[in-house]
Amino acid sequence: MGKKKKNFSRAANLMKRVKEWGPFRPIAESIRNKLLTSLMSLALIPLVLLVLFMNNRYSNVLEEKTFSNLRAVENIKSANIKSYLENRRYDMNVLVQTVETLRSKAFNQLVSIQKLKKELIENYFAERLSDVNILSDLPIVLEAMAAFERAGGTVGGTEWKAVERIYAPFLVNFTENYGYYDTFLVSSSGKIIYTVAQESDLGQNLTSDEFKGGPAGQAFEKGLESLTFQDFGEYEPAGGVPAAFISAPIKSGDKTIGVIMVQVSVDQINAIMQDRTGMGKTGGTYLVGADRLFRSDSVHVRESTVMNPAFVVDTMGVAEALAGRSGQGVVIDYRGEYTLSSWMPVTVHSVTWAMLAEVDVTEAFVPKGEGEEQDFFTKYKEGYGYYDLGLINPDGYLFYSVEKGKDYQTNMLTGPYKNSNLGRLVARVLKNKAFGMADFEKYAPNDNAPAAFFAQPVIREGKVELIVAAKLSLDQINAIMQDRTGLGETGETYLVGSDQLWRNDSSFLKELGVKTTVLNAKTKVDTRASQSALNGEKGTEVIEDYRGRKVLSSWSPLTVMEPDDTNPEGIRWAVIADIAYSEVNRPVRKMAVFSFGAVLVVALLVLFVSFLLARGLTTQVNHIMDLFGEIGIGNFEARTPVTTQ
């Protein structure tokens, strides 16, 4: 109550001072001034009110038009970014389908070559078994066996040499013509009475402790009964070289008088298995026995791998093939390399081997046309504007990269970059077995430059065989967001992530004094627009932007990646379109200046006309007053002039 009295007292004092000053006294004391003021008021007050109304209306219309334009631009940008991301996701489907096609093509080629080699190996041994079976029934072999037995005494003695001169040419010719390493005649008691190679085993007994557990001893034991094939084993008389044998009984009537044995040459097997026609630079085929050791030499190793304990092949493919099953898959081979592997069993008489045909995943999945310098993924990357494309094994190993950066040939799950956005994305894709995206983060392998990734798995029978990863192009996002059509001199559009940092470069880098705004803490966007959009809301208001300027702003949320179990928040960006309020208000200010000028001109004209009218009226009134004065003194003939101006 006291405050109201105080305010009333102040108002009364003000009115009293105005009255004492008397600003309206000159008007009240003069008819001409009253007329002049009245005429100007009648003319100017409506004009000023009209101008103020029009300016306000024009300002509102212009602001609404700008808001409408901003909304349109923001919607277009949002749609373009969404379309860009959808197209890139479609690209990932294309890449995965391409990888699957390349996989099928590679496996078809491997299986085709493998079937041919399986047939060649089985036919080779079938022929060798047939040769030995026929040889054991030849009369000359029976005669040679009997003759060497009759020679008796020491092997190499006079009688033995005499028999050798008769029968050796036939056996030597047989051995050389059919590509055997050696041919043996063994008595029924196990004594080696003749060999073509005449190594340290000549004259030895295969039933002795030294030989009976070895491949020759076992071949002899089985050969007493029937035609047989004895798998490879280490054979000391041949210098420790692995040896396999085919043996058959030599019979005289129903009596077995000895065994003929041939030592199979690894060279003949290698000639078939090491032929790499149609298998590229890294492809190869090889045989593995039940002991998981090689039965042919590897094309990737200089030293012999046959029965070499340094090269154990204990893979899923070997186990499957030895169990009699065929199949294909991506496996880690005996070198520790990821390969496309095709396996099938090969049966030699009663022995089963695993035959594997393999090619490195890099060559299988990254084909290069004959005479071309660029592989498929390099051309795809450049054609569609990606920063990089990579292929990742299920264990996280990045075995292929177009750019071959610092992350190339590192493990994204256990290596130095496991905590990067790509490392976490690989782990998420492996868990979900589905497409995934990693939002922009500073990526250490690229010197902490911002990077975002797409990744999609290649799945076979419920298992991830491969992950295709793509590094998104910031240039393409910038090309969309930096198009300032319809945004005037100060307008711009930009993307903001959940960390309140940019996802594209500003159009005003020079003004901001930075090289990039992407993930730049100096240009953090914590505004009404970013907060609202990141909360899933749309809006259009006059606000302060990230630089503290008054702007007209339109915003909306953009869901880049839907939430899932491994990424509950998903990926959401804010799409914001701004234009400086001063630029929008510039036409209003220009109109206000023009209106003020127009009002001033009109006021001068009104003043001039009012002055003329007031002067004419006051002159006429003065004449009338003079007339009344003349009449008052009795001059009834007095007249007053008529003023027309």
The predicted pLDDT at position 54 comes to 56
Q: Which of 369 and 416 is assigned the larger pLDDT? A: 416
Least confident of 400-414, 447-461, 595-609: 595-609
Whether 159 contacts 153, CB under 8 Å:
yes
Buried b (16+ CB within 10 A) or exposed e, 457-482: bbeeeeebbbbbbbbbbbebbbebbe
- Residue 203 CB coordination number (10 Å): 15
Task: Determine the residue type at 77.
Answer: K
Query: Got the DSSP string for 272-298?
Result: HHT--TTSTTT-EEEEE-TTSBBSS--
pLDDT at position 597 over 80: no
Least confident of 76-80, 436-440, 586-590, 635-639: 586-590
Q: Which of 11 and 164 is assigned the larger pLDDT? A: 164
Tokens coding 164: 């050798």
Mean pLDDT of 20-28: 56
Phi, psi of 471, deg, nearest 5: -95, 120
pLDDT at position 257 over 80: yes
pLDDT at position 29 over 80: no
- The domains found in the chain, sorted by start residue, are 138-264 (3.30.450.20), 268-360 (3.30.450), 366-472 (3.30.450.20), 475-585 (3.30.450.20)
pLDDT at position 352 over 90: yes
Summarised one tens digit per residue, pLDDT across range 34-91 is 666 665 666 667 756 655 655 555 455 555 676 678 888 888 999 999 999 999 999 9
Which bin fits 397, alpha (ψ -120 to 50), beta or left (φ > 0)? beta
Summarised one tens digit per residue, pLDDT across range 524-538 is 999 999 999 999 999
Buried b (16+ CB within 10 A) or exposed e, 304-330: bbbbeeebebebebbebbbeeebebbb
Summarised one tens digit per residue, pLDDT across range 373-395 is 888 899 999 999 999 999 999 99
At residue 617 the predicted structure's pLDDT band, cuts being 50, 70 and 90, is low
CA distance 622 to 642: 11
The predicted pLDDT at position 580 comes to 87
Summarised one tens digit per residue, pLDDT across range 121-156 is 999 999 999 999 999 999 999 999 999 988 875 787
The predicted pLDDT at position 56 comes to 55
Least confident of 447-451, 571-575, 594-598: 594-598
The predicted pLDDT at position 319 comes to 95
Mean pLDDT of 463-492: 91
Phi, psi of 412, deg, nearest 5: -80, -5
Buried b (16+ CB within 10 A) or exposed e, 593-612: eebeeebeeebeebeeebee
On the CB side of 544, CA atoms within 13 Å amount to 6
Q: Residue 15's closest CA among 28, 24, 4?
A: 24
Give the sign of the dihedral formed by CA 333, CA 339, CA 345, CA 350.
negative
Q: Which of 386 and 461 is assigned the larger pLDDT? A: 386
Mean pLDDT of 297-317: 93
pLDDT at position 314 over 90: yes
Give the sign of the dihedral formed by CA 307, CA 312, CA 313, CA 318.
positive
Residues in the chain: 645
The predicted pLDDT at position 611 comes to 61
Summarised one tens digit per residue, pLDDT across range 222-244 is 999 999 999 999 888 877 789 99
Buried b (16+ CB within 10 A) or exposed e, 537-566: eebbeebebbeeeebbbbbbbbebbeeeee
CA distance 426 to 410: 13
The predicted pLDDT at position 58 comes to 45
The predicted pLDDT at position 7 comes to 61
**What average pLDDT does the chain have?**
86
